[in-house]
Amino acid sequence: MTDPLSQVIQLLRPRAVFSKGISGAGAWAVRYAEFGEPGFCAVTEGRCRLAVDGEAPVVLEEGDFVLLPATPAFTMSGFEPAPALRIDPKTAPPPDREVRYGRAEGPPDVRQFGGYFSFGSPDAELLVSLLPRMIHIRGVTRLTQLVRLVGEEAGRDEIGRDLILERLVEILLIEALRAAPMAQTRPGLLRGLADPRIAAALRGMHGDLQRPWTIPELAREAGMSRSAFFDRFVRMVGARPIEYLLSWRMAVAKNLLRDGGIALDEVADRIGYGSASTFSTAFSRHVGLPPGRFMKYGGANPITDVQP
């Protein structure tokens, strides 16, 4: 069975970057600036507060896991009032040991392990838009174990370290997304996959990109009338069905072009276009430059991203 969620994560190309231990005691608060990269943490002991901009504040307890696919600004604190220490993760040097906030002596009120990683895909913004803005999961031991494994591997300097970290982060992402409570999710891929009828249409699209899908055909996959399917798809996924299909086709095309070694007409055929010229026209309109130039520059903007 086609798994759209796994396909999206594979195209995101997650890469492990940094992880650390954090503890706090007494009165403490830390205000992190907007980061843009995905961040995560698992609470291994005690409790603290988390206030992510644009989301309702939550209390994190031992065993909780949080994933922020694009990490907006947020504040983490204890339960006593305290001025917030401001940190910009884009400029702050990464610590080489556990960070302690608040009272330095005695046992901590909370201990957690977390960090951030990056997405290798230039299309990350498009794909991340399909995911929840914040995922808070309680009581899934496997996620805490995975976070510990990421931390342990990040601290090693052995052959194969980067590859192992990439695979661990992929697993961490999939585990977190499939454990995410649907009540927390905004319209997007997760909410669509949680709806059996819309999921059937999504699996059809992802499983057969070569097929010239139409709204009536997708509605039949979902076992619904055309109008009911269209309205429900937009409500669940946040995009019209053919718009979603076009975006996914172009994301796959860009991935094929970046990897190279494949003729343009074969790329066109794999994503459902009858000819290279038809595909080139659609690609240029969607991306802003023709496939040949996109392939030449590896997906970078030839004006702003490539030095002469």
Which CATH number characterizes residue 148's domain? 2.60.120.280
pLDDT, averaged across the chain: 88
- The answer as to whether 98 is a domain residue is yes
For residues 95 and 242, membership in a common domain is answered with no
Residues 29 and 125 in one domain: yes
Res. 37: pLDDT tops 80: yes
Asked if the structure places residue 303 within a domain, the reply is no
> What residue ranges in the chain does DSSP mark as E strands?
14-25, 29-32, 39-52, 58-61, 64-68, 74-77, 85-87, 99-102, 110-119, 135-138
Evaluate whether residue 305 is within a structural domain.
no
Q: Are residues 177 and 216 in the same domain?
A: no
pLDDT band, very low/low/confident/very high, at 51 (cuts 50, 70, 90):
very high
Assess whether pLDDT exceeds 80 at residue 167: yes
pLDDT over 70 (residue 260): yes
The CATH number given to whatever domain includes residue 238 is 1.10.10.60
Domain that holds residue 222: 190-296
> What is the distance, to the nearest Å, from the Cα of residue 285 to the centroid of all Cα atoms in its chain?
26
Q: What is the pLDDT of residue 183?
A: 61
Same structural domain, 99 and 225: no
Q: pLDDT per residue over 67-116, tens digit each?
A: 999 999 999 999 999 999 999 988 888 777 889 999 999 999 999 988 88
In the predicted model, what is the mean pLDDT of residues 128-156? 85
Q: Decide which of 184, 217, 238 is a domain's last residue.
A: 184
Torsions phi, psi of 187, nearest 5? -55, 135
- By mean pLDDT, which of 36-45, 173-182, 250-259 is the weakest? 173-182
Q: Is residue 304 part of a domain?
A: no
Number of domains in the chain: 2
- Among candidate residues 67, 74, 64, the one with its CA nearest the CA of residue 9: 67
